[in-house]
Structure 1
Amino acid sequence: MGGCLATDRITVDGCKVGYMYRDKPINIDDSAWRFFAGDEDEDYMADSDNHGVYAVNTIVNYDRDIIGFLNEPIGSEYERDDYTGKFKKAITH
């Protein structure tokens, strides 16, 4: 499926994906998916040591709940519902 961006909150700290969106790809190998635990702030994201590029399959191995969403179109945005633990469309402001 290609590469994606994911934060260390997922790949190092072991958090589940809490927020994900599909952006416009930056190159042919980019799936355009961006995965976050959901609690990363601007300062955290400003430090490039806190996130990296991974194969989407690698992130699936951390959190299989994302599988059903991977073919969603560019512009898709989902967040994990705190109550049910399932993904729902994110409401952006």
Structure 2
Amino acid sequence: MAKTFLIPANKIRQIIDSNAGCLATDRITIDGSRVGWMYRSDASRPEDSGWRFFAGDESESYMADTSNHNVYSVNTIAKYDPSIVPYLDSPVGSAYERLPDMQDFIRVDGWDSADSA
């Protein structure tokens, strides 16, 4: 089944100076949810930024279905939710959460990306 993205590819303009990749869920790119949870892990390949973006309400079973997430350029996800841009230079191991009633992210200390693998 073909996906219908909230923002068509021809409407994605460059807003950050990077072509690095990331993982993001359909809750963001299809459903239009804001990023509610993001973390940066070690890159899995040279073109990977290590960033992983979620709406924050994805269940384990949702994530287990690989058709519910994909690899995108970080720029694409920044176009969907520009509020992530100030955090993109954060080091590996960084994690941020945005609660439903918040505009900004809060840093999640003591979180280990190995816990999510």
Amino acid at match of 2:99: D
Q: Which amino acid letter does the alignment assign opposite residue 81 of structure 1? A: L
Structure 2: 5+ residue stretches without partners = 1-17, 113-117
Deviation at 1:82, TM superposition (A): 3.0
In structure 1, how many angstroms separate the alpha carbons of the residues matched to 2:67 and 2:75?
21
| 2:42 aligned residue | 24
Q: TM-score, normalised by structure 1?
A: 0.94
Equivalent residue number for residue 3 of structure 1: 21
Q: Tell me, in whole angstroms, the C-alpha distance in 1 between the residues paired with 2:87 and 2:37.
A: 12
Higher strand proportion (structure 1 or 2): 1
Matched, 1:76 2:104: no
Aligned residue for 1:43? 61
> 3-state SS of the aligned residue for 2:70?
strand
Superposed CA offset, 1:44-63 (max 9, x none): 00000000000000000000
Identity %: 54
Structure 1: state its 5+ residue gaps: none
SS of residue matched to 1:31 = strand
- Aligned length in residues: 93
Which range is displaced more, 42-51 or 74-83? 74-83
Higher relative contact order (CA 8 A, sep 6+): 1
> What is the RMSD computed on CA atoms of the aligned residues?
1.3
Name the stretch that deviates more: 31-40 or 77-86: 77-86
2: CA distance, partners of 1:21 / 1:44: 18
String of CA shifts for 1:47-81, please: whole Å, max 9, x gaps: 00000000000000000000000000000000003
TM-score by length of 2: 0.76
Q: Which residue pairs with 2:3 in the alignment?
A: none
* 1:19-51 CA-partner distances (Å, limit 9, x unpaired): 000001001000000000000010000000000
